[in-house]
Structure 1
Amino acid sequence: MTSTTHRDAAEIGRTERGPRPVPELGAQRAAADLSHVDTTLGNGLRVLAVRKPTVPLVEIRLRVPFGGTEPLHSATAEVLAETLLTGTAHRDRVGIDTELALIGGDLNASVDPQRLSVNGNALAARLPTLLDVLADALTSASYVDDEVARESDRLVERLAVSRTQPRVIAREALLRHCYGDHPVTREMPQAEDVAQVSPEAVRALHSAAVLPRGSVLVLVGDFDPEQVVGEVENALRDWSSPSDARIMPALPMLSGGDMLLVPRPGAVQSQIRFVAQAVPRTDPRYPALQLANLSFGGYFSSRLVENIREDKGYTYSAHSGFEFSGPSATVGVDADTANDVTAAAVLETRYELGRIAVDPPTAHEVGSVRQYAVGSLLTSTASQAGLATQLAALASNGLGVEWLATHPERLAAVTVEEVAQAAFDFFAPARFTGVVVGDAESLAPQLSALGGFTVGEPAAS
């Protein structure tokens, strides 16, 4: 008869002779040992072409700096991204979709306060066709009235749904709390602004801001990099401008301060968000800070997860991680909890921040997170799509394949003492600010008792 006795993870991990031994890790290999070309074309576009012949495909990632301070910039940019690939002077929407389908390809566009992104893929042998469609959109997107109206209506509907989502509400509240009226806070436009966007405004923004100088195109796939750069230069020969793409204004430096309680009447769950200033990937302290972050809350076996998820059950998911914006970077902590344990979860999060600053990661913890950091980097770049996305993020900040290839060495060189110093310098609770979004009537008394909280305006919905 089969036993139905439940065994937990600790029991499964032991035998009569003691804990099951963990297999030794194999020799680590470089994260990237790739044939590539990294060059800037005559039109100012940086092209990073990397050979990765795992499958006969190619992935492309175009990143165009797309900052703007005008009141309707966010709304116009969103409509532009939605309609960029709906028609050109030479192809209508059906023609674009059909041509991409015939080459096993896809293109899609999105935008945020920092950049316009165009992602795509196709069979490697059909890359010239993919580049031709991309060039057509970049140089002669038509933004016809009917398409703009149709996509604007859809966008308004999606915005209405998105703004009911707790995590979206928390994100907007956090950005406003940290950065006030800075353009970065307008990740999502207001529906009433989208309704004002005209086809003429979208065309004008495309002409003024969809520019090659300062932009980055990453290609990863089964090809010869030198040949591909020539194909890109030929395909995009008509995409040119003497102006530079628009970089978003630099973010102000964050300093620690009171948390903001953002009322969301009737909510049964709360969203907890802490944030503090960090350093970019180019800073010599970044590898040590990366390991300190992993120890704190950056992976499942971290201290924060062990405390408020595994031990106390306050949340299903707790996490800490980095967000990069040009030369700036922040480290954030997030968790969603039920109302009755929100204050306790905030208290324990503050406790873990203080603990890692004064009781830093041990040699064993550092060894574990070092292996995790290198392994996750290798995993994230194992596929063409993963490598292309990783390189696009790096290239947008002036980095490239060399940084990716040498980062495991930097992680390996970090000492336990350097991780301890990074934890002390960057994770002290006084360095953090943030928000809690939830039902203020039930949360305010408990959070006020903890101290360091002010009550803000109700969350928009």
Structure 2
Amino acid sequence: MLDRTLAPNFGAIEHIKLVEPEHIKLPNGCSLYYFNSGEQDLVRIEWVFGNLRFNPDKPLLNSAVVTMLTEGTGSLSASQIADKVDFYGAFLQAEYGFDHSVVTLYSLSKHLENTLPVIKDIITDSVFPESELQTYVRNQQQKLQVSLQKNDVLARRAFNKAMNGDSLYGLAADATDFQQLQRADMLAHFKQMYQPSNCTIFLAGKIDEEILKLITDTFGKNWQNGPETADTTQPALKQADEHFYYIEKPDAIQSAIRIGTRIINRSHPDFPALQVLNTILGGYFGSRLMANIREDKGYTYGIGSGVSSLKHGGALFIATEVGADVCRDAVSEIEKEINRLKTELVPQDELELVRNYMLGSLLGSLENVFSHADKFKNVYFSELDYTYYDRYTSIIKAVTAQDLMDLANKYLDFDKMYKVIVGKY
């Protein structure tokens, strides 16, 4: 019988083994990576497309096209698509991201023969019906109107715009941008972007030869590239010269704060150690920002920092909402915590705690084969390989307090950070 008076043994995480994919290059140029693992007859398939070059005159095409993929094809209406997917107990989702747009299907293996043709129809023959487009425009304008009443939304939009200018990363859409959406533009965008040479398929689950053949036949045959190659290059990001933005709301009870700077992305050798530094600053519940601004000062219910890794750059950002009367004090405390990292060595016990937290989080995130596929996508789209995770764990174990201080002085200059306040200051 288990003796619950005794704490379980624990030990350091020495090595994390990841499920590695097999790769097939289809004749039409589409790449397929598949992860065969698991006991249940369930698979997740993702069709990932690189977003086309940002056009400031038509800024919403990438996001609008993927959102409306399921609104109708040449042979199926939106309701018929939904009914077919639901009938087989499957789940279909189309999502927009800064660098890629993704169509995801979860399905029982035995129903793939019926669900895959629906996906094929969506990514080869979406027609964006005019009536559905007008409904989409109205709904999005209404959602935007509601969102723009929220301080944190305004702060995020202003922050991204300052950091990234007119780009996919800096887009802050307004109502007129939705009104400019035209069906002809969406069709042209769709035909250029949604073709096999611009698609990578990630398949994860319990996979046998029959499933593999079904997928390769469905998306390797009778799916041809168009005459125009997908242009996924992006214009250079242009940061704003102004670094402080204040959107005043005289009646605000809370103020939204967003502070940060452009930094490296995952492909840079400093990135793993920078994640350690970020975790100490504000990357988990026991972070310094939480301990100071929430636990000690009581200025907020929550505050955190994060690092984002995108194809064309990265960012470190701090976000919170605080009482309007303590906004200026909260900003001062954030500056204080950043400067502490630059002038004081992190105590060894704090560093060990963060090491264990980060390694444990990585291990805990690998709960199933889908998680392993997600980890692979991170390195694949950063043009890295699985040695990244070996290096990541090695750096977390070996990084010193002096290394972290050096990084803080290299990357964290509060005076040059972008600062956005919405509310009272």
- With the length of structure 1 as denominator, give the TM-score of the two structures: 0.82
Check if 1:194 corresponds to 2:199: no
Check if 1:219 corresponds to 2:206: no
User: How many Å apart are 1:113 and its aligned residue?
Assistant: 4.3
Query: For each residue in 1:194-226, what CA deviation from the matched residue of structure 2 results, as whole angstroms up to 9, or x when unmatched?
Result: 2232322221211122233243322221214x7
Taking a change above 3 Å as real, the CA distance of residues 82 and 54 of structure 1, as seen in their structure-2 partners, is: same
Kept in 1, the 8 Å contact 2:61–2:181? The answer is yes
Pick from 256, 264, 267: which aligns with 1:271? 256
Query: For each residue in 1:398-453, what CA deviation from the matched residue of structure 2 results, as whole angstroms up to 9, or x when unmatched?
Result: 345554466334433434433332233223424422211223xxx2xxxxxxxxxx
Kept in 1, the 8 Å contact 2:164–2:238? The answer is no
User: How many Å apart are 1:70 and its aligned residue?
Assistant: 2.6
- Partners of 1:354 and 1:322 in 2: CA distance: 18
User: How many Å apart are 1:327 and its aligned residue?
Assistant: 4.2
Judge which range, 384-393 or 260-269, deviates more.
384-393
- Partners of 1:33 and 1:269 in 2: CA distance: 44
Pick from 145, 148, 153: which aligns with 1:163? 148
User: Which runs of structure 2 are paired with 1:404-419 in the superposition (5 Å)?
Assistant: 404=389, 407-419=392-404
Kept in 2, the 8 Å contact 1:261–1:437? The answer is yes
Instruction: Name 2:269's counterpart in structure 1.
Output: 284
Check if 1:308 corresponds to 2:318: no
One-letter code aligned to 2:421: V
One-letter code aligned to 1:201: D
Pick from 213, 217, 240: which aligns with 1:234? 217
Kept in 2, the 8 Å contact 1:131–1:235? The answer is yes
Query: For each residue in 1:275-307, what CA deviation from the matched residue of structure 2 results, as whole angstroms up to 9, or x when unmatched?
Result: 123222222222211111111111111111111
Instruction: State percent identity of aligned pairs.
Output: 24
- Partners of 1:96 and 1:30 in 2: CA distance: 44
User: Which runs of structure 2 are paired with 1:124-139 in the superposition (5 Å)?
Assistant: 124-139=109-124
- Partners of 2:68 and 2:75 in 1: CA distance: 15
Taking a change above 3 Å as real, the CA distance of residues 54 and 344 of structure 1, as seen in their structure-2 partners, is: farther
User: Which runs of structure 2 are paired with 1:228-267 in the superposition (5 Å)?
Assistant: 230-237=213-220, 238-241=223-226, 243-247=228-232, 249=234, 252=237, 258-267=243-252
Taking a change above 3 Å as real, the CA distance of residues 401 and 379 of structure 1, as seen in their structure-2 partners, is: same
Kept in 2, the 8 Å contact 1:57–1:221? The answer is yes
Pick from 267, 281, 292: which aligns with 1:296? 281
Instruction: Name 2:340's counterpart in structure 1.
Output: 355
Taking a change above 3 Å as real, the CA distance of residues 149 and 30 of structure 1, as seen in their structure-2 partners, is: farther
- Partners of 1:42 and 1:362 in 2: CA distance: 56
One-letter code aligned to 1:211: Q
- Partners of 2:49 and 2:288 in 1: CA distance: 38
Structure 1 residue matching 2:346: 3-state secondary structure: coil
Question: CA RMSD, aligned part only?
Answer: 2.8
Taking a change above 3 Å as real, the CA distance of residues 67 and 275 of structure 1, as seen in their structure-2 partners, is: farther
Name structure 2 gaps, 5 residues minimum. Answer: none
- Partners of 1:287 and 1:257 in 2: CA distance: 30
Query: For each residue in 1:346-387, what CA deviation from the matched residue of structure 2 results, as whole angstroms up to 9, or x when unmatched?
Result: 000000000011113222222111111111122223134444
- Partners of 1:88 and 1:53 in 2: CA distance: 34
- Partners of 2:240 and 2:362 in 1: CA distance: 30
User: How many Å apart are 1:22 and its aligned residue?
Assistant: 8.1
Check if 1:208 corresponds to 2:169: no
Kept in 2, the 8 Å contact 1:183–1:248? The answer is no
User: How many Å apart are 1:102 and its aligned residue?
Assistant: 3.0
One-letter code aligned to 1:171: R
Kept in 1, the 8 Å contact 2:280–2:287? The answer is yes
Name structure 1 gaps, 5 residues minimum. Answer: 1-19, 444-461
Structure 2 residue matching 1:236: 3-state secondary structure: helix
- Partners of 1:405 and 1:57 in 2: CA distance: 29
Kept in 2, the 8 Å contact 1:61–1:217? The answer is yes
One-letter code aligned to 2:164: Y
User: Which runs of structure 2 are paired with 1:133-152 in the superposition (5 Å)?
Assistant: 133-152=118-137
Taking a change above 3 Å as real, the CA distance of residues 239 and 127 of structure 1, as seen in their structure-2 partners, is: farther
- Partners of 2:284 and 2:238 in 1: CA distance: 26
Kept in 2, the 8 Å contact 1:287–1:414? The answer is no
Equivalent pairs, count: 419
- Partners of 1:299 and 1:22 in 2: CA distance: 24
One-letter code aligned to 1:219: L
One-letter code aligned to 1:143: F
Kept in 2, the 8 Å contact 1:135–1:239? The answer is no
Structure 1 residue matching 2:33: 3-state secondary structure: strand
Check if 1:78 corresponds to 2:78: no
- Partners of 1:21 and 1:169 in 2: CA distance: 51
User: How many Å apart are 1:319 and its aligned residue?
Assistant: 0.6
- With the length of structure 2 as denominator, give the TM-score of the two structures: 0.88
